[in-house]
Amino acid sequence: MRKNSIILILILSTFFCKAQETYWVFFTDKNETGFNPYSYFSDKAIERRQKQNLPLFDYTDLPINQKYVKKVQETGAHTDVQLRWFNAVYTIATDEQILSIEKLPFVKETKPVAVRKMTLAKHEAENINEDNQFLLDQQIKSLEGNQFINSNITGKGIRVAIFDAGFPSVDHHEAFAHIRNDDRIIATWDFVKNKEFVYDYNSHGTTVMSCIGGKINDQNIGLATGAEFLLARTEKATEPLSEEKNWLAAVEWADKNGADIINSSLGYTFHRYFRSDMDGKTSLVVKAANLAASKGILVVNALGNDGDSKWKMLGTPADADSILSIGGTDPYTGIKISFSSYGPTASGKLKPNVSAHAHVYAANKSSYSETYGTSFSSPLVAGFAACAWETRPNITNMELFDVIQQSGSLYPYFDYVHGYGNPQASYFLDGKSPEKKYFTIVEEEEDIKVEILEFPKGEKYLYYHIEGQDGILKVYKVIEMDGAKEIEIPVNKYKPGVLRVHIGSQTESIEL
């Protein structure tokens, strides 16, 4: 018996000594590699570059030297996903193997692969009723989406890539019949199982796609009903921790296949990352997102659902400067929904950029349901962006980024939960509405008094923030006016700074 115990201990010791971890192995160069952009990129990808006066390709597009990959494999390590943009290969290796890999002359560095905690959206399946109809109406109305619909603006000609956990029933669900009938699902890929079929697994992607361009009984669920689609399964929803490798592979695939917009409802937070890493430059996914933007793609990402958790703040890649990050609002109040994460980035940059409803009515695997999450705010804005780009086909992705912010219902006011508010379709059809005067600001010795002259129709909130000299908000609040004729704002402890107040279409600022 003692002998058997010793053998078991030795076996377990050997197992733990040989335990494998996952790494990115980065190479020093791309020597001895050739590249033809016309055979690698789709026609749509080349068209996007030409339209925005971008080079057809750059160093990041060149392939990885396969001799280097083979040498890594010869250490006994296993390799998987290859990232051209970062000249890196995903590697599964023991401690001993990774030490051997790090000694190879063409290896620049190795980094552990980051993982994230998955938070799935909550669904409440039921037949459409009065409450469901309210949600369906509000998710369009809050973006003034009916103005796009009435003008026959549908995102036609815009190609949208969706990164998610699965797309069951998209190949036969009635919500997508108009897309299938026109053959507008251009390409699909399952990065988890390395195959083309994606119409299975978790239904989160089905719901997300419907929020971009789905319909129910000829009524819009999302706005981009005329867009084209690329569907990428990047998440294995049965696993509590999900690696970023599939997201990174998918963004190169989306670029290659001509995506104009990427919708990502995914985020990486407290596993292998710290709050200080949410700075718009640290994580590999944020670098990939910014690279995608440099190649002419508008990346739209959910801010996250950690507002009620200990983490609180946004996840990466929503911290990227060049990503349009989307916060969540409550359709019943019009202001931040409780679970929506908070900005700014760790470096103090404004996030979210804009917001949309995070409690929606949308398609699921077999029917339609009520559902929650900023992962549905993001596709609502992605669909909006496709329509906005259709109205201004000659602008670049970053020009579109800017005008979507400027179209926000709160603009030029902003805060770290709503950004510039919900983007508005009228801005792209009629321009910004003229500002109306609803209040005046009276400076007193210690505080500021806001005198209400008129209550805007359908509006019941006063927004204010105080911006410090470093450009970071010291405080921001939303106050329900409730018929008040004047509201006092305490400012003395926040001096010096700039106070901004917003009601309706009016924003005023004063130096403190």
On whether both 331 and 222 belong to a single domain, the answer is yes
3 state SS for 203-242:
CHHHHHHHHHHCEECCEECCCCCCCEEEEEECCCCCCCEE
Same domain, 311 and 379: yes
pLDDT at 475 (0 to 100) = 96
Domains identified in the chain, total number: 3
Residue among 502, 303, 509, 508 at smallest CA distance from 410: 502
> For the whole model, what pTM was predicted?
0.91
The 10 Å Cβ neighbour count of residue 190 is 21
Same domain? 131 vs 104: no
pLDDT tens readout for residues 192-211:
999 999 999 999 999 999 99
Residue 444: predicted pLDDT: 83
Residues 209 and 343 in one domain: yes
- Burial (CB < 10 A; 0-12, 13-18, 19+), residue 54, is middle
Q: Is residue 470 part of a domain?
A: yes
- Picking from 52, 79, 113, the residue at the C-terminal end of a domain is 113
Tell me: do 425 and 443 sit in the same domain: no
Which structure tokens are listed for 102? 């790090």
249 contact partners, CB below 8 Å, separation of at least 6: 81, 83, 191, 234
248 and 202 in a common domain: yes
Tell me, what CATH number does 265's domain have? 3.40.50.200
Instruction: Take residue 476 and report the two structure tokens written for it.
Output: 């921001």
Q: What is the reported pLDDT for 270?
A: 46
Residues 191 and 306 in one domain: yes
CA distance 465 to 509: 10
Q: What is the pLDDT of residue 8?
A: 42
434 located within any domain: no
> Within a domain: residue 28?
yes
pLDDT of residue 286: 86
The predicted structure's pLDDT at residue 133:
95
Write down the pLDDT at residue 18. 63
Q: Residue 357: inside a domain, yes or no? A: yes
pLDDT at 312: 76
Asked if residue 254 and residue 349 are part of one domain, the reply reads yes
Q: Where are the alpha helices (DSSP H) in 152-221?
A: 177-181, 204-213
- Identify any residues that bridge with 77 across adjacent strands, giving them in sequence order: none
Are 358 and 333 spatial neighbours (Cβ–Cβ below 8 Å)?
Answer: no
Residues of the chain with pLDDT under 50: 1-3, 5-17, 118, 124-126, 240-241, 270
Q: Write down the mean pLDDT value for the chain.
A: 90
> In this structure, is residue 267 part of a structural domain?
yes
- Residue 108 domain flag: yes
Residue 20: its pLDDT value, please? 85
State the pLDDT at residue 11.
42
Claim to verify: residue 7 and residue 50 sit in the same structural domain: yes
Category of 272 on φ-ψ map: left (φ > 0), alpha (ψ -120 to 50) or beta: left
Residue 459 token pair? 């509006």
Residue 137: the pLDDT is 97
Structural domain harbouring 454: 439-511
Please work out, in degrees rounded to the nearest 5, the angle formed at the alpha carbon of residue 252 by the alpha carbons of 374 and 83: 115
Tell me the Ramachandran region of residue 471: left when phi exceeds 0, alpha when psi lies from -120 to 50, beta otherwise: left
Is residue 100 domain-shared with residue 171, that is, in the same domain?
no
Last residue of a domain, one of 78, 113, 148: 113
The CATH number covering residue 455 comes to 2.60.40
Sheet containing 359-363: order of strands: 122-125, 368-372, 359-363
| Cβ–Cβ under 8 Å, residues 489 and 421 | no
Q: What is the pLDDT of residue 63?
A: 97
- Contact between 361 and 132 under an 8 Å Cβ cutoff? The reply is yes
Say yes or no: 88 and 161 in one domain: no
- Largest Cα–Cα distance of the chain, in whole Å? 89
In a domain, 119, yes or no: no
In 335-446, the DSSP E strands lie at 354-357, 359-363, 368-372, 439-443
End position of a domain, from candidates 371, 405, 429 = 429
Please compute Rg for the chain using Cα positions: 25
Flag whether 17 is in a domain: yes
| 84 and 60 belong to one structural domain | yes
Residue 51 three-state SS? helix
How many residues are present in the chain?
512
